[in-house]
């Protein structure tokens, strides 16, 4: 018996030690931050230093343990985004590296997730006046996208009429699987791919398309949204028919494929950003992000800090995790964070009720449908498939009871039964997954559904016909904040109001690879050169393209000045003249935590009047204000000489957020939150600006001085905004606006103000 226990103990110990050893020798990818000032002079360059450092790790560990350990593998040597490199290391190698000369910090590799041409008209862009002609349609501005690749054969990347590629461009087109460098042209001027991190994380992986070619469609869609050229007769099977074009049709496109069907890792993403900076892009578009990380832990935040230092504007997506608060990513102070809204265009079908008129509903059925009138019957919950199968030759009307999965169950029942068509009466706001139906289906609001049911019940032989492939323009109200767009506050920088702005993100038509299916018709896959997608992924490149236009019109403006111009000229009002509504809160007025400053207005941004600018030192002061350690700040700034003499969380930002969330206070105990701001006059001539404030529930807001006098362009003036309220605010969110309007009524510079009792959960 004792021998049995000893054997069991030995077996347990053996497996425990084997597990520990396996963990020690199993390699993971890490991003390593180094201090370049510590590099020995004997090395000719940084990469040779990195290689020597990694080589010594493996040699020392093998000598000390007398065991086989994987060789530490260098993945990327970064030039701009960080001082350092990425490598595949075991835990033992990582611990040894921490004692190496010049080591600062390390971040384990992480996976990233995507946030998945009428919009130019909805945004007011015109060939005759405004931002398009003023910027030359974005002529020679270079937009870089970190994404899933590109389908170069798309007509959206046609370079007809474009002049030679700017001489300052250092990028290139890389050849690879089914991708030749000759596929690039004067529009698509660069295409590269990055997957060393992906392969190191999955050594046995086979990359299906090892080249910049897009096998997901996302990158083709976003890049053509930002800067696609003119393509006539574009549509999604007859929906959204017209001439498609991107926001900046005269701009150049550079694609950096770092997001793969097989997986996506931060080591590859920041290598792509590093290369984009080196190549000379003017604007970066990033439709992906990482959740709930401090700024010094977020490789994307760190990499984009380097981009801002190089005067590159960065547009990022807020994420698709709404409608709850504190769900957004990319809440980084130095990038623009974009929320998604709807447009005044919808797609659907018309249901004609005999000779009694018609109703309209949502639909994106891609097939052809007979104009013949069919018998129509109301089957209420539509849950009895056997009964439905007896009515194959009829149009079936279903009433969604509004329970969880009830619409999905009805949808499946009609599909299985094989009826002529399904008419679904529902109040659901999540119809995207149903409207692209493989069988004829139309979705009606309750008021229109009631008309249909009444028609059926009051006629002995009710019949109906359906006309699909209809595009409705002028929908009201619009825009509306989508339910899926992620909300603030920012986890990483709660004292900066995020998101920044809203742009079209719902049902966006843009280019698509011809070999990737976009819809099903019964059991057949359908293909198209254009596709409709929704998400903040689609909103982000809209803003990237518009930023490119502003860069073309104002080449001397900094990225922060461009961000300010976009935010302070955005619209908080919809096309009915009322506050923009939020689907995620049952169409209540949208707060800035959902839509930022408002809906983007490109032409107004051309002449904003005043801008809130910020320098790199301002961002360093902000990092110091977050009480980061010198090492954590160094991880972001890549500098050992950071000046923290003026730490402040009060960044010179075109928005305001104050927290009144002290739960351990006496009743009627008030506090005042103060904000200092400096604005720069970018208008030609002299102006006198007067401040006005909208009322906010539960707090009092004041501004001092309330008048700013500018005598010349580029003159700066400062003011203080104060918010007085209870230490514990009753409301979760109260909001209003500060508006600086000049006496000539040429400019109205609007900034959102939020007071909240919300507690950031860290």
Question: Which value, to the nearest 10 degrees, does the dihedral of the CA atoms of residues 596, 601, 605, 610 take?
Answer: -50
- Spatial separation of the C-alpha atoms in residues 651 and 613, rounded to whole Å: 10
Give CA–CA dist 660/683, Å, rounded. 36
How many other CB atoms are found less than 10 A from the CB of residue 712? 11
Of residues 58, 115, 119, 218, which has the active-site annotation? 218
Distances (CA, A) of 585 to 403, 482, 495, 580: 18, 10, 24, 12
Q: Are 193 and 210 in contact (CB under 8 A)?
A: yes
Of these residues, 285, 534, 537, 570, which one is catalytic?
A: 537
Residue 301 in tokens: 């935040």
Cβ-based neighbours of 591, under 8 Å, separated by 6 or more: 582, 733, 735, 754
Backbone φ and ψ for 655, nearest 5 degrees, come out as -155, 170
**Burial category of 128 from C-beta neighbours within 10 Å (exposed 0-12, middle 13-18, buried 19 and up):** exposed
Region of 572 (left: φ > 0; alpha: ψ -120 to 50; beta: rest) is alpha
Contact 220, 150 (CB under 8 A): yes
* Secondary structure letter of residue 156 according to DSSP: G
Q: What angle do CA 256, 262, 264 make, to 5 degrees?
A: 50
- Measured CA to CA, the distance from residue 428 to residue 411 in angstroms comes to 13
Tokens of 644: 């923290």
Q: Which of 478, 405, 375 is nearest to 121 (CA)?
A: 478
Radius of gyration of the chain (CA): 29
CB neighbour class for 615 (10 Å; exposed up to 12, middle 13-18, buried from 19) = exposed
Residue located via tokens 């900066």: 496
Q: Name the token pair of 108.
A: 């384990």
Residue 603: partners with Cβ closer than 8 Å, 6 or more residues away: 124, 125, 126, 129, 130, 131
Cα dihedral: 709, 713, 715, 717 (round 10): 40
3-state secondary structure 335-386: CEEEEEECCCEEEEEEEEECCCCEEEEECCCCCCCCCCCEEEEECCCCCCHH
Query: What SS3 state is found at 393?
Result: coil
From the CB of residue 754, how many other CB atoms can be counted at a distance below 10 Å? 22
User: Which residue of the set 115, 140, 147, 400 is catalytic?
Assistant: 147
**E runs forming strands in 194-302:** 231-236, 239-244, 252-257, 259-260, 263-264, 283-286, 288-289
Strand partners, 749: 740
d(CA 254, CA 258): 13
Please state whether beta strands 142-147 and 84-89 pair in parallel, antiparallel, or not at all (unpaired): unpaired
Which residues, including other chains, have CB under 8 Å from residue 334's CB and lie 6 or more apart?
A: 304, 305, 308, 314, 559, 560, 619
CA distances to 32, 59, 395 from 106, in Å = 5, 21, 62
3-state secondary structure of 234: strand
Is position 147 annotated as part of the catalytic site? yes
Active site residues: 147, 218, 537
């Amino acid at each position: 018996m004792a021998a049995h226990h000893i054997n069991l103990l030995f077996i347990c110990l053996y497996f425990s030690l084997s597990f520990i050893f396996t963990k020690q020798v199993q390699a993971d990818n890490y991003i390593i931050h180094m201090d370049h000032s510590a590099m020995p002079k004997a090395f000719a360059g940084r990469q040779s230093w990195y290689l020597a450092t990694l080589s010594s790790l493996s040699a020392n560990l093998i000598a000390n343990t007398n065991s086989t350990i994987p060789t530490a593998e260098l993945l990327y040597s970064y030039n701009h985004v960080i001082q350092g490199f990425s490598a595949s290391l075991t835990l033992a190698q990582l611990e040894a590296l921490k004692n190496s000369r010049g080591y600062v910090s390390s971040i384990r590799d992480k996976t990233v997730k995507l946030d998945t041409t009428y919009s130019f008209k909805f945004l007011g862009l015109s060939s005759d006046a405004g931002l398009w002609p003023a910027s030359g349609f974005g002529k020679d501005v270079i937009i870089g996208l970190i994404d899933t690749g590109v389908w170069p054969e798309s007509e959206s990347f046609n370079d007809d009429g474009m002049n030679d590629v700017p001489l300052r461009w250092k990028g290139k087109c890389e050849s690879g699987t089914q991708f030749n460098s000759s596929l690039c042209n004067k529009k698509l001027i660069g295409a590269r791919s990055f997957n060393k991190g992906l392969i190191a994380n999955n050594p046995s992986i086979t990359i299906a398309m090892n080249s910049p070619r897009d096998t997901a469609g996302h990158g083709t869609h976003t890049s053509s949204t930002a800067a696609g050229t003119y393509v006539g007769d574009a549509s999604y099977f007859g929906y959204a028919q017209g001439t498609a074009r991107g926001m900046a049709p005269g701009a150049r496109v550079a694609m950096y494929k770092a997001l793969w069907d097989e997986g996506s890792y931060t080591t590859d993403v920041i290598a792509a950003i590093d290369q984009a900076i080196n190549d000379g892009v003017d604007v970066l578009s990033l439709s992906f992000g990482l959740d709930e990380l401090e700024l010094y832990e977020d490789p994307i935040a760190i990499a984009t800090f380097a981009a801002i230092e190089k005067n590159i504007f960065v547009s990022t997506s807020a994420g698709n995790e709404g409608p709850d608060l504190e769900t957004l990513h990319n809440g980084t102070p130095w990038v623009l964070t974009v929320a998604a809204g709807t447009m005044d265009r919808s797609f659907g079908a018309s249901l004609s009720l005999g000779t009694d008129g018609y109703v309209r509903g949502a639909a994106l059925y891609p097939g052809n449908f007979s104009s013949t009138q069919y018998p129509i019957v109301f089957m209420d919950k539509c849950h009895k498939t056997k009964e439905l199968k007896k009515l194959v030759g009829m149009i079936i009307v279903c009433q969604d009871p509004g329970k969880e999965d009830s619409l999905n169950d009805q949808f499946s029942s009609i599909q299985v039964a094989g009826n002529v068509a399904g008419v679904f009466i529902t109040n659901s706001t999540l119809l995207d997954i149903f409207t692209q139906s493989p069988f004829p289906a139309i979705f009606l609001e309750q008021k229109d559904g009631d008309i249909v049911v009444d028609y059926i019940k009051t006629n002995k032989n009710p019949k109906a016909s359906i006309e699909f492939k209809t595009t409705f323009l002028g929908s009201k109200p619009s825009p509306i904040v989508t339910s899926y767009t992620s909300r603030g506050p920012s986890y990483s920088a709660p004292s900066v109001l995020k998101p920044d702005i809203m742009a079209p993100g719902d049902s966006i038509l843009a280019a698509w690879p011809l070999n990737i299916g976009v819809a099903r018709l019964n059991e057949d896959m359908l293909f198209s050169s254009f596709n409709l997608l929704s998400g903040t992924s689609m909103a982000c490149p809209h803003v990237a393209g518009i930023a490119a236009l502003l860069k073309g019109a104002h080449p001397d403006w900094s990225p922060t000045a461009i961000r300010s111009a976009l935010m302070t000229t955005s619209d908080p009002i919809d096309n009915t003249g009322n506050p923009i509504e939020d689907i995620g809160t049952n169409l209540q007025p949208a707060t800035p935590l959902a839509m930022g400053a408002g809906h983007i207005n490109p032409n107004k941004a051309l002449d904003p009047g005043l801008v809130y600018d910020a320098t790199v030192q301002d961002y360093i002061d902000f990092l110091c204000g977050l009480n980061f350690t010198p090492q954590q700040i160094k991880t972001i700034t890549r500098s050992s000489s950071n000046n923290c003499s003026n730490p402040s969380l009060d960044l010179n930002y075109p928005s305001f957020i104050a927290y009144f969330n002290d739960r351990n206070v006496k009743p009627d105990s008030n506090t005042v939150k103060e904000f200092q701001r400096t604005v720069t006059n970018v208008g030609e001539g002299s102006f006198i600006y007067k401040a006005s404030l909208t009322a906010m529930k539960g707090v009092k807001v004041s501004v001092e001085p309330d008048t700013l006098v500018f005598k010349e362009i580029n003159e700066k003036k400062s003011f203080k905004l104060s918010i007085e309220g209870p230490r514990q605010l009753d409301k979760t969110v109260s909001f209003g606006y500060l508006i600086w309007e000049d006496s000539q009524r040429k400019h109205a510079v609007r900034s959102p103000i939020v007071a909240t009792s919300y507690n950031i959960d860290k």
